[in-house]
Amino acid sequence: MKETFTNWGNELQNEVENWVANQIDSRLTQLRRIISEKQSGQFNREQNLKRYQEEITTLQNLDRQLLKVETTVQNMRQGKYSDVDENASEDASEA
């Protein structure tokens, strides 16, 4: 009888240890997935930030070019064609 209870106790202990190990493994897997998703999200945010910064730089460059065009048009209206030629040569060298 004692042997039966000892065997039953050992089986129960093994089952509990296996159950706990499975629970821990499941939780670790879940935590690894959460960490991976958050890291991936961080990477995506960094990529978006980089893209937005590049777009801002492009828009700033376009703004400068539009200001040059505005100046050129104003000079043409005022008959300052020599300034227009200088601006055109500057724009050509920048391109």
82 pLDDT tier (thresholds 50, 70, 90): low
88 pLDDT tier (thresholds 50, 70, 90): low
**pTM beyond 0.85, yes or no:** no
Q: Express each pLDDT in 18-73 by its tens digit.
A: 999 999 999 999 999 989 888 888 888 888 899 999 999 999 999 999 999 999 99
Provide the residue range defining the domain that includes 90: 2-94
Query: Who contacts 84 (Cβ-Cβ below 8 Å, separation ≥6)?
Result: 72, 75, 76
DSSP letters, 20-77, are HHHHHHHHHHHHHHHHHHHHHHHHHHHHHHHHHHHHHHHHHHHHHHHHHHHHHHHHHH
Residue type, 22: N
Domains of the chain: total: 1
